[in-house]
Amino acid sequence: MLVLFPMQEQSDDSSEDEAAGDTDMDFLRNLFSSALGLGSAEKVLDELTLDGVARYINSGKCKNIICMVGAGISTSAGIPDFRSPGTGLYANLQKYNLPYPEAIFQIDYFKKHPEPFFALARELYPGQFKPTICHYFMKMLKDKGILRRCYTQNIDTLERVAGLEGDDLIEAHGTFYTSHCVSFCCRKEYSLEWMKEKIFSDDIPKCDKCSSLVKPDIVFFGENLPARFFTSMKMDFPRCDLLIVMGTSLQVQPFASLVSRVSKSCPRLLINMEKAGQVNPMMGLFGFGEGMDFDSDKAYRDVAHISTCDDGCLALADLLGWKEELEELVKKEHTKIDSQDAKEKASENKGATAKASSASAPPEPKAEE
């Protein structure tokens, strides 16, 4: 489903203190690095092109790939991104009479006016879309034993549908996979199927224990990112030997700053419709990293492949010798999804017919005493 939410950090006090300490250290590290010209690193890629990245992967030296993905990897599945002029989600919310587009994902607005969010959720609910070539490319990285983790801004659950499991994923902005009561005194958990039934019956989901609103576990404006996002990034990014960034504008913090958490020698590949996450000296000084450098004379590790995410993944798969395998995987998995959908619709239709027949049948006559 949907995708980008600029949020705040952490849920428990100790984690927040730790994250604040990390930010202070990042600030000092970047300040001294920039001022003293420290931190130069070896050039790992023999060429700053997609071919160079493919040769590096095929060399066998690349064993801990991290993928960072955003809304752009799901647009070919029919799910709109947020910010594209004319077609983006924020450009098409007039019918909900919002005070401003982002209000539909503001937690305070949601608690007072939940109807617009659940109406939108009905249109874009997970289960109505199939994973893209890009999703299955990441599944191939997993199957080949070289995917360390996928960090996603998306809440459409398509990474899970494609075969990435809980340990493979950091859903930075939450997920529709589970839901919880919004009351701090309750917090009862609900399943994806429970929420789906409520949304498609036009009911505003209410907790059956305390009658408060129930919200999918996606992160709204004004809410904290999952604690697992912060704990995992500290372990994953120092070990990363190739960072692949796809379908994101890299405008939302703290997600965007992850590109600067890999080592100085780690190659970074961007597959996107436009360049993103480029060097911003002021952001570097304030602890958010120095960004990506595709074009300067000092560029030594960053590669930008300007295309759709699906086309970029197909091009990389072709260079790796995986294209036929990838296309076969997509075809097989889409056929499986279509078959499952057909069975579910047939079952629903059968149930609806039986219910209608039961309702229209004349009552049985009472037996005479």
The CATH number of the domain holding residue 207 is 3.30.1600.10
Q: Cα dihedral angle (139, 143, 146, 148), rounded to 10 degrees?
A: 60
Helix axes 309-320, 50-58, angle to 10 degrees: 50
Q: Which structural domain range is residue 186 located in?
A: 80-128+174-218
Whether 341 has a binding-site annotation, put simply, is no
What pLDDT, on the 0 to 100 scale, is given for residue 18?
Answer: 54
CA dist 110 and 116 (Å) reads 8
Whether 273 has a binding-site annotation, put simply, is yes
For the chain, state the CA radius of gyration. Answer: 23
CA dist 196 and 216 (Å) reads 10
Which residues, 6 or more positions from 69, have their beta carbon under 8 angstroms from its beta carbon? 134, 138, 150, 151, 152, 153, 154, 159, 245, 246, 247, 248, 309
Within a domain: 99 = yes
What pLDDT, on the 0 to 100 scale, is given for residue 120?
Answer: 82
pLDDT in tens, the chain (369 residues): 344 344 443 344 444 445 445 544 544 554 444 444 455 578 999 999 999 999 999 999 999 999 999 999 999 998 866 655 555 555 556 677 788 878 888 999 999 999 888 888 887 776 678 999 999 999 999 999 999 999 999 988 899 999 999 899 999 998 888 899 999 999 999 998 899 899 888 789 999 999 999 999 999 987 888 889 999 999 999 999 999 999 999 988 889 999 999 999 999 999 999 999 987 655 544 544 568 999 999 999 999 999 999 999 999 999 999 999 999 999 999 999 988 878 877 776 666 666 666 655 566 665 554
Cβ atoms of residues 46 and 315 within 8 Å: no
Within a domain: 206 = yes
pLDDT digits (tens, 9 = 90+) for 80-134: 666 555 555 555 566 777 888 788 889 999 999 998 888 888 877 766 789 999 9
Within a domain: 281 = no
Within a domain: 202 = yes
Within a domain: 279 = no
Whether 240 has a binding-site annotation, put simply, is no
Within a domain: 144 = no
Within a domain: 38 = no
Annotated active-site residue 173? The verdict is yes
| Closest of 254, 230, 257, 235 to residue 12, by C-alpha | 230
Give the predicted TM-score (pTM) of the model. Answer: 0.79
Q: Cα dihedral angle (312, 314, 319, 325), rounded to 10 degrees?
A: 160
Within a domain: 85 = yes
Point out the catalytic residue in the list 113, 173, 180, 334: 173
Whether 133 has a binding-site annotation, put simply, is no
What pLDDT, on the 0 to 100 scale, is given for residue 261?
Answer: 94
Whether 146 has a binding-site annotation, put simply, is no
The number of domains in the chain is 1
